[in-house]
Structure 1
Amino acid sequence: MISSPGSASAAADARVPGAHRVLALLTLANFMNFYDRTVPAIVVEPIKAEFGLGDGHIGAVTSAFTVVYALAGIALGRVADRGSRRRVMAGGLVVWSLFTAVSGGAWSFAALLLFRLGVGIGEASYAPAANAMIFDVFPPGRRARAIGVFQLGIPVGLLAAFLSVGWIVEATGSWRVPFLLAAVPGFVLAALMLTLPEPRRDAAGRAAAPPLRQAVRSILAIPTVRRLVLAGVGVQIPAHSMTTFLVPYLQRHFGLGIGAAAQSAGLVLGLTGIAGLLLGGVAADRAGRRSLPARMTAGAAGVALSAPLTLAALLADATAVTAFLTLFAAGWLFHYFFITTALPAIADVVEPHLRATAVAVYYASFYLLGGAFGPIVTGALSDRFTAIVPAASAAAADAAGLHYALLVVVPVFLLLGALALWTAGRTITTDHTRMLARTTVSDRPARDVAGRGEAELDRPAPGPPVSG
């Protein structure tokens, strides 16, 4: 007899042999993923000055990266479901590190754009395979916390980039050097990734994978997934907008230098992310012990709380940088509850042999509709407001334009994301039950049934083990 979705036994929460080593290396690579990705956002002003760009151009680079990242991720997620996940991740590390290095040699806006697209293709391999590997080796009762730890790579990577890149630019007098330095660790991590044990996939994971189009359709046919995509769109629009424009906003609105602005942004985005992911992971797992809808409600409440706090921050006077940083940090902490709620929900409603593809489809959907949309629209709004807002100088108009653009974009879409996440809680129990019914008892990984055991890593066993 299968226990209810919300139950949690000691077996379901048991430590999985080897899982923490896997999680540690995946988290370290995720750190480099977001360090590399953040470098362009910190050097916006010198790039604009050298190539004569506007905010619309900067938004276009970020959005083009996101589109390529999203589309490539679907195909590479399918490869990760059919083959070796560790090899997919290792190959991706090599590709994105190589293109990060050559980004430092860009001789024009077009060259920079092309190289960033290469980074996007490399990084697209990582999230689907890494999240699916975590689903493979952690039981339901520990998945939200494991996802929270893995996603610490986002704020820690942001923090490290914001604290170091501005200083590197000031010390070397070049915006190009940080790209070259950021590329080196990726090659080392690629070699280490090949040493990971390949998680064993049960009969469902060894079954012939359906064609890509059929897989995508079956994933998007799940009501909970569609609602999670809408929630992702709502959250990613302000998240990508703030990541892209927070340093320029601090420079223009509060008059900070690039070093101080980058360090302030890094402290806010990094430290709040660390706290938010850890707190959100614990809150999600505890709520999930009551029921799956309770876990979704906990995430929705956190995102909803972030909206008024970030609005209050953006309304802070240009002389009140401390008030802005304090209020924004409080709001940004709670927006991370989305990650620790939404990603474990994918594993709750999607069969094991489709999970890397499901993560890729999920990321692609909200990145294409949200992540790509956010920076380019925020940049376009900023340019528009700059042109029409009366100001004493061009610099003042530039500051006002970005200020009004963020006021329009950030709080509204956070609230929309919270609402969509809450509605996903209305369907998750039914979709979880359907997922279990679609997977026969013999094919179903024990870790996906509450209280029914834990994941295994490949080890000698009767018969030839099948991985990937």
Structure 2
Amino acid sequence: MLNASNPSADTGITPARRTTMLAVLMMIYTVNFVDRTILATLGQAIKLDLLITDAQLGLLQGLAFAAFYTTLGIPLARLSERVNRVSLIAICLAVWSGMTALCGAAQNFVQLFLCRIGVGIGEAGCSPPAHSLISDMYAPRKRATALAIYSFGIPLGTMVGAVSGGWLVEHFNWRVALVVVGLPGIALALVFRLLAREPVRGAMDAAATTVATEAPPSIRETIAHLFGNRAFLHITIGATLVGFVGYGTGTFAYAYFIRMFHMGYAELGLVYGLVGGLSAGLGTLLGGWMSDWAGKRRRSWYALLPAIGLLIAAPTYIVAFTRGEWITAMWWMLLPGLFHYAYIGPTLGVMHNLALPRMRATATALFFVVVNLVGLGIGPYATGALIDYAANRRFSASGLGDFATQCPGGVAAPGAADSLQSACTGAMAQGTQDGIVIMLLVFLWAALHYLIAARHMGWLKREAVASPAPARQPG
């Protein structure tokens, strides 16, 4: 059970600096997601330039990044339990930003894959220490809101990546886009190191005087403490499935509008970036605020709110991705983001209210190992493979041969007959739609786990605590 909050404790930083640090951390997370997701915006241009499949594109966006991001997340989190977290974040920010810029020099799939590994290595040192810092600056019943503000960097970064990446790739090329979005992070690393201060660990929790001298719990103890709680176990499964769908469909949503409606990169980047950023941003902030507000009365709302959101998001996303005109589709895209991203604040709030002060960075890393290895590592590849399969089936129905042979990169070779060109582009567009729609159905599975978590938290039992119910004992 979480210790009572200690709102009067001295964190070692002033309220003004705390607000500034949270704002800069949100900016860092924005850069994090620009660099992480930029390939979704540039994917179609990279596919045509390097002549790769959608499955390979999914590997670049997913596994190349996620494998080292998750593997190194735990040792870097363990390190952050002992060292200055501000310095660690600044160093890692400079590393991943430089590797993003280096991606622009890649000449083939293998080189780009290796550079993306470098981005993942750097980004592994961002969220675990950042979450730990935020939890040491805000009381338990304000953490979901604070973590939602930090997580606002997800939709904001996705929006910035879409708008800037779309404009840069249309007016220059995808290589220039990677260099331009990568380099500013190095300057931000210096700014953060100069402005931020290390807060007292556990100052916002009871018994804070012993936290600074305590040894961090072992990884095994942290795993038992977190995942021995059945409510949090199901929340983690639900969040993993949300990531699987979100990263998977997000990787190809941009390409979908180009393939289906032949939109230009700059036009699509502006419209899709603003629509997605607005709805997802509001959903992230409202999810954190509403869960903290409702959770004061009934703790199960920390799980019920994400479940309801996902049950609404799945069908509305499907409606958006099956419209016959891009303008209608974009209008529909405003709605599901509000509900989809509402899960972030309550999910992270539950985790950090359950975790002890000296295990929070490790808890974040362990949580992200599960969520990102499956969600980010496998989601984009699975979606790309589904699209490749669906496109091949639709093309095979035309009787023109093998899709991969006749349509390298998803388009017919220069000089091919009009019928072949039409068949290639049509199969690619319809296959992309099929793959995305199938993936979106997994949201319903994710919602089920959040509902199960709410059951373990007492459903609508009036018990105002910030952490989930204790794990039930056998028998």
Instruction: Quickly name the TM-score band, shorter chain normalised.
Output: 0.7 to 0.9
The match for 2:175 is: 176
SS of the equivalent of 1:210 reads: coil
Q: Does 1:385 align with 2:390?
A: yes
List runs of 5+ in structure 2 lacking aligned partners: 202-207, 399-421, 458-464
Once residues 283 and 93 of structure 2 are traced to their aligned partners in structure 1, the CA distance between those partners, rounded to angstroms, is 27
Residues 338-384 of structure 1: per-residue CA shift (max 9 Å, x gap): 10110000012111111111011111101112222211111001101
Shift of 1:434: 5.6
**Aligned with residue 356 of structure 2, among 347, 351, 359:** 351
Aligned to 1:292, what secondary structure does the other structure show?
coil
Q: Could you tell me which residue of structure 1 aligns to residue 365 of structure 2?
A: 360
CA contact (8 A) 1:35 1:160 kept: yes
Question: Matches of 2:466 and 2:158 in 1, distance apart?
Answer: 37
Is 1:417–2:422 an aligned residue pair? no
Moved over 4 A (4+): 2-5, 8-12, 14-17, 428-435
For residue 3 of structure 1, report the CA deviation from its aligned partner. Answer: 11
Q: How many residues align?
A: 427
SS state of the match for residue 309, structure 2? helix
The one-letter code sitting in structure 2 at the alignment partner of 1:67 is A
Moved more, 335-344 or 150-159: 150-159
- Within the candidate set 230, 253, 274, 1:246 is matched to 253
C-alpha distance in structure 2 between counterparts of 1:259 and 1:367, whole Å: 29
- Indicate conservation of the 8 Å contact 2:54/2:387, yes or no: yes
Deviation at 1:423, TM superposition (A): 2.1
Cα distance between partner residues in 2 of 1:3 and 1:367: 26
Are 2:45 and 2:174, in contact at CA under 8 Å, matched by a contact in 1?
A: yes
8 Å CA contact retained: 1:128, 1:357: yes
Higher relative contact order (CA 8 A, sep 6+): 1
Closer/same/farther in 2, CA of residues 215 and 284 from structure 1, 3 Å limit: closer
Residue 250 of structure 1 contacts residue 256 of structure 1 at CA under 8 Å; is this kept in 2? yes
* Aligned equivalents of 2:333, 2:214: Cα separation in 1: 47
Question: Structure 1: 5+ residue runs without aligned partners?
Answer: 436-468
Q: Which residue of structure 2 lines up, in the alignment, with residue 212 of structure 1?
A: 219
Task: Tell whether 2:287 aligns with 1:287.
Answer: no
Q: 2:419 aligns to what?
A: none
Query: Contact between 1:223 and 1:431, CA under 8 Å: does it hold in 2?
Result: no
CA deviations on 1:364-406 (whole Å, 9 max, x unpaired) are 1011122222111110011011111135510100111111011
1:114 is matched with 114
Aligned to 1:142: 142
CA 1:3–1:188: 2 relative to 1, 3 Å: closer
Question: CA-to-partner distance for each residue in 1:205-249, whole Å, 9 max, x for gaps?
Answer: 531123434434443333233212101122111210222111100
Which one of the candidate residues 244, 254, 269 is aligned to 1:237? Answer: 244
**Structure-2 change in CA distance of 1:291 and 1:115 (3 Å):** same
Q: Secondary structure at the match of 1:43?
A: helix
Other-structure match for 1:455: none
Question: CA RMSD of the aligned region, Å?
Answer: 2.5
* Equivalent AA in structure 2 for residue 241 of structure 1: G
- How has the CA–CA distance of structure 1 residues 279 and 214 changed in structure 2, closer, same or farther, with 3 Å as cutoff? closer
Distance 1:27 1:48, change over 3 A: same
Give 1:67-78 correspondences, 5 Å limit.
67-78=67-78
2:28 matched residue in structure 1: 29
TM-score (norm 2): 0.84
Structure 1 341/394 Cα, relative in aligned 2: closer, same or farther at 3 Å?
same
The answer to whether the Cα contact below 8 Å between 1:224 and 1:431 also exists between their aligned partners in 2 is: no
Sort the Cα spacing of 1:335 and 1:366 in 2 relative to 1 into closer, same or farther, 3 A.
same
Kept in 2, the 8 Å contact 1:233–1:366? The answer is yes
1:88 paired to 2:88: yes
Show the counterpart of 2:403. Answer: none
Scaled by the length of structure 1, the TM-score of the pair is 0.86
**Percent identical:** 30
3-state SS of the aligned residue for 2:174? coil
Would you say the 8 A contact 1:205–1:352 is kept in 2?
Answer: no
Paired residue for 1:260? 267
Structure 1 residue aligned with 2:53: 54
1:68 and 1:219 map into 2 onto residues whose CA distance is: 23
Q: 1:48 to 1:3 in 2, by over 3 A?
A: closer
Question: Could you say which residue in structure 1 is the equivalent of 2:284?
Answer: 277
Contact 1:284 1:299 in 2 (8 A): no
Query: Which residue is equivalent to 2:434?
Result: 404
CA distance in 2, matches of 1:22, 1:369: 31
Q: Is 2:424 the counterpart of 1:394?
A: yes
* Aligned-pair CA distance for 1:17: 5.9
Are the aligned partners of 2:163 and 2:269 in contact in 1 as well (CA < 8 Å)?
Answer: yes
1:41 pairs with 2:40: yes
Determine the C-alpha separation between the residues in 2 that align with 1:92 and 1:10: 31
Aligned to 2:377: 372
Report Cα offsets for 1:226-283 as digits up to 9, x if no partner: 2121011221112102221111000111221222222232122211122112221221
The 8 Å contact of residues 222 and 431 in structure 1, kept in 2 or not, is answered as no
The answer to whether structure 1 residue 194 and structure 2 residue 193 are counterparts is yes
